[in-house]
Amino acid sequence: MSRLAVHPGLDIEAAKARFAATGHVRLHPFLAREAAEALHLEARGRSDWKQVINSGAKVFELDRPTRAAMAPEQVQALDAAVIAGAREGFQ
Amino acid sequence: MRTLFALNPLLDVPAIAHALKTHGRVQVRQFLHPEAADSIHDVLSRGTDWGLAWAAEGKTGAHVRGAELRAMAPEDRARFGTEAADAARKGEFAFLYAQYPMVKAYLEKWNPGHPLDLLLEHLNTPAMLDFARAASGIPEIRSADAQATLYAPGHFLTLHNDEVEGEGRRIAFIISLARDWLPDWGGHLNFVADDGDTVEGFVPRFNALNLFTVPNRHNVGTVAPFAPIGRFSITGWFRDK
């Protein structure tokens, strides 16, 4: 597996100046190509992604088996709650 | 009777013209007289029989009238959204939004005397066309077409530049009539650079006019599933024919 390595052409000084001037910056390309490909494959290949949902200040994590075990009505109720939460508040 | 259409008498037309010339786009806040903005909003929110405008792969765009939509089975109605989304996923030009095609409705006399018929006439009065000519610096502008649009949750318009040969489109306009819209609800008019970054995005507002030159690469971002019904606008082009 490739080592995580930043792109050899990164212009840190230019990025630094831009960040200082505007408060945001994007470095592109950021990683060395092989490292970016490897990281992408790793992310694509994993099956332990979790869905993160908040309800007010509480945060819940739902893994795939939990999601898959939910009844359609539960999924609908959860979606409805998330949608209602997002309309006016932080979700 | 309330005013249906009147421009804000305090518009700073030279400043608008300068911004449009400099950037190719401009947003004018408080564009209409407040009473006119309220009147048009009332028409759009309570008195418009919305149909559906959609385009998908291999389909250049069509309008389905409100009565026709209501007569369809839910699964048939859903097909428009599915096909438009499938095309958008592949990077094809696609759109999906509620529409009242004002020119077609006017010419085919769908509802003679409907306020949107009168509004189309107002958009073609000397007062409005003089404003368009002054703001754009294009004396050849001769007419305005228009449609009423409502982007509901899930509706969108993918990237394009508005240029259609022979149509005479010179300046695109959007009179935005979305009350109390939050940026998280989506539906922005985005101007997009060749590398895909948004150069500027206009949030839906109440009583704002967006103007931009044609061609100009833009889209309407998808309205979020949690947005309320309310992203109304009157939109079209000022034309030289």
Interchain pair A91, B225: CB under 8 A:
no
Interchain pair B225, A84: CB under 8 A:
no
pLDDT tens per residue across all 241 residues of chain B: 689 999 999 999 999 999 999 999 999 999 999 999 999 999 999 999 999 999 998 888 899 999 999 999 999 999 999 999 999 999 999 999 999 999 999 999 999 999 999 999 999 999 999 999 999 999 999 999 999 999 999 999 999 999 999 999 999 999 999 999 999 999 999 999 999 999 999 999 999 999 999 999 999 999 999 999 999 999 999 999 9
Residues B67 and B72: their CA atoms lie apart, in Å, by 9
Interchain pair A86, B228: CB under 8 A:
no
- Among B119, B56, B122, B43, which Cα is nearest to B92's? B56
Residues B227 and B230: their CA atoms lie apart, in Å, by 8
Alpha helices for B124-216 (secondary structure H): 126-136
CA-based angle A20:A23:A24, to the nearest 5?
Answer: 110
Which residue type occupies B109?
Answer: K
pTM reported for the whole predicted model: 0.93
What is the 3 state secondary structure string of chain A?
CCCCCECCCCCHHHHHHHHHHHCCCCCCCCECHHHHHHHHHHHHHCCCCEEEEEECCEEEEEEHHHHHHCCHHHHHHHHHHHHHHHHHCCC
Tally Cβ neighbours within 10 Å of residue B15: 12
How do residues A2-36 score in pLDDT, each as one tens digit?
678 999 999 999 999 999 999 999 999 999 999 99
- In chain B, whose CA is at the least distance from the CA of A26? B197
B215: preceding bond cis by omega (within 30 degrees):
yes
Residues from chain B contacting residue A87 (CB–CB below 8 Å): 185, 226-228
- CATH class in words for B13-47+96-239: mainly beta
Strand runs (DSSP E) across B169-217, as ranges?
Answer: 169-177, 189-192, 198-202, 206-213
The domain ranges of chain B are 13-47+96-239
Interface membership of B225 toward A (CB under 8 Å): yes
* C-alpha dist (Å) from residue B42 to B45, B147, B235: 5, 16, 17
Which residue type occupies B167?
Answer: E
- Among A28, A29, A34, which Cα is nearest to A4's? A34
d(CA B224, nearest CA chain A) in Å: 9
d(CA A83, nearest CA chain B) in Å: 5
Tally Cβ neighbours within 10 Å of residue B114: 19
Interchain pair A87, B225: CB under 8 A:
no
Residues from chain A contacting residue B226 (CB–CB below 8 Å): 82-87, 91
Gyration radius from chain A CA atoms: 20
